[in-house]
Amino acid sequence: MSVTECRAGALPAADPFVHPALFYADEHEYLAGTLPFVRDALAAGGPVAVAVPAENLALIRDGLGADAGAVRFVDMREAGRNPGRIIPGVLRAFADAQPPGTRVSIVGEPVWAGRGPAEYAACVQHEALINDAFRGREATILCPYDTHRLAPVALTDATATHPILIGADQQRHQRRHKWRHSTDFAPDRIVDTYNEPLPVPAAAREFRPVATGQLSRIRDWAARLAWDLGLLVERIHDIMFVVNELVTNSIEHGAGKPRLWSWATDTALIFQTANLGHLNDPLVGRRPAAPGQARGRGVLAVNALADLVRIHISGRHTTIRAYFHRR
């Protein structure tokens, strides 16, 4: 069965959303899995987007030739450097722009070699949450995984976040792939597994007291930290906005006294808030804001501006950490 036949609904699942993982070992297998998927979707008259790292973006664009003009291309290294923004800013942004009832086809590759441990944890949670975010929608999101360069844990996790697994046929000259249902599919388990503690290092600076009346001072404090590290003015404005949203969210939705810390590593400036409050919606900050929505945009805005966001929920405590790369 071809990738397209799998996409077109030859599966017994009732859900119109199809979410396969495509395992590939080299450029040949990558193109053998992605090009027929894109071409067949275009032939069926459906909208197609390809959101993969730049080097693979070029491979697909060149392989499509004249067909490339009908495809929306997105560099995932830029648009998806924070995995928390991929669902609202890439996948839903494309799908929601299509007429209602239109089946959309997307090649999305958020996991690549070189992602750090914190980035990877966010990536695998993102892949698990796609299943909830698109449940019931006419969409197929094909996610390639590099079996040669990725760590074994990434390939194992992919079997838990994707209900369908596709591997290259041994007959490599054919444009056909073997698919199977994943017996390890357990996206909720993955979300829980990577709900990792976010300890504050001893060298972190804490701002006190954290209160609504201190927001102006908090923004100035964050700006000074960023300025001292030499971040660009544009990013300092982003940092001020993000820290303001983190603190406001912590005050409004938490209980007791929220806390705010900051520290720097060789690669990032980090801000973290913690409060007594249970975040019970794993898709918070990952749903696009509805037209006219006045509230509930805080974590969505943080995801849009920060280079990485991690959230830890433990009992009655919620911790949110935002990273800003030092370039």
Whether 131 is covered by a domain: the verdict is yes
Residue 245 CA, chain-centre distance (Å), reads 20
Ranking 9-13, 211-215, 263-267, 278-282 by mean pLDDT, the lowest is 9-13
Same domain, 183 and 61: yes
**Tens digit of pLDDT for each residue in 224-271?**
999 999 999 999 999 999 999 999 999 887 777 899 999 999 999 999
pLDDT digits (tens, 9 = 90+) for 173-216: 444 557 899 999 999 999 999 999 999 999 999 999 999 899 99
- The answer on 210 and 150 residing in a single domain is no
Domain carrying residue 226: 205-325
Are 162 and 222 within one domain?
no
Count of domains observed in the chain: 2
Residues 6 or more apart in contact with residue 49 via CB below 8 angstroms: 71, 72, 73, 74, 90, 94, 104, 105, 106, 107
Question: 55 and 186: one domain?
Answer: yes
Give the end of a domain, one of 167, 193, 219. Answer: 193
Residues 217, 161 share a domain: no
The string over 10-39, giving b where at least 16 C-beta atoms fall within 10 Å of a residue's C-beta and e elsewhere, is ebeeeeebbbbbbbbeeeebbbbbbbbbbb
Q: Which residue, among 121, 193, 196, has the nearest Cα to 154 in the 3D structure?
A: 121
Give Cβ neighbours of residue 71 (< 8 Å, ≥ 6 apart): 38, 42, 48, 49, 50, 61, 64
Last residue of a domain, one of 136, 158, 193: 193
pLDDT of residue 199: 97
Claim to verify: residue 11 and residue 141 sit in the same structural domain:
yes
Convert the pLDDT of each residue in 91-121 to its tens digit: 999 999 999 999 999 999 999 999 999 999 9
Same domain, 164 and 18: yes
Whether 218 and 294 share a structural domain: yes
Per-residue confidence band for 292, with pLDDT thresholds at 50, 70 and 90: low
Q: At what angle do helices 27-43 and 54-64 cross, to 10 degrees?
A: 60
Do 306 and 262 have their domain in common? yes
Q: Quote the pLDDT of residue 174.
A: 45
The amino acid that residue 261 corresponds to is W
Tell me whether residue 200 is in a domain. no
Q: What is the CATH number of the domain that holds 119?
A: 3.40.50.300
Q: Give the residue from 173, 193, 213 where a domain finishes.
A: 193
- Do 153 and 274 share a structural domain? no
| Diameter of the chain measured on Cα atoms | 67
Poorest-pLDDT segment among 92-96, 163-167, 275-279: 275-279
- Are both 119 and 259 inside the same structural domain? no
Enclosing H/E stretch for 287: none
| Residue 198 belongs to a domain | no
Residue 246: Cβ within 10 Å count? 27
Residue 294 is predicted with a pLDDT of: 59
